[in-house]
Amino acid sequence: MKKDFSPTPIFPAAPEIRVFGDDLAELFINAAKALGAGKNEREKGDGLDELLADRWEEVSLTAENKEALLARWLEKIVSLSRANKKNYSQFLMIEFSEKGLRAKIAGREDRSKEGRDPEVSFEGLTIRKEKGHWQADIRG
């Protein structure tokens, strides 16, 4: 039975989420999915996410440790989302280590009438292994 690693708010009123993964690569993917969870929920069920396979974009990053790498990963997704006016919802990790990654991401045009997301920083995030899985607390 697959564990539910859905993002969970740490405190309902705070801009914090907790994500889980069986390994660090899955943790990074789940953190990326959590960035757009609200927007993607409104558009689920239309089948368009499956059509994105031919529109993959490659991302390569390095950092001094896993926390810095997660912060750079999330900042890169936010940056690309703004620049390309897309909601990214598909993530494929090609290569992964605690100090670098190469991934493919796909998204679709952001058709929401909402304004762009405010500037975010992921400086206060933590990553730890607990009870056989990885966990990250992310404060944006």
Q: Is residue 2 part of a domain?
A: no
Domain that holds residue 68: 18-139
Nearest to 115 by CA among 42, 47, 39, 60: 39
pLDDT for the residue 13: 44
CB 28 within 8 A of CB 36: no
**What is the per-residue pLDDT across 109-134, written as a single tens digit (0 to 9) for each?**
877 655 555 566 777 899 999 999 99
Q: Is residue 81 part of a domain?
A: yes
pLDDT for the residue 10: 40
pLDDT for the residue 104: 96
Q: How many domains does the chain have?
A: 1
Q: Is residue 3 part of a domain?
A: no
CATH number of the CATH domain containing 38: 3.55.10.10
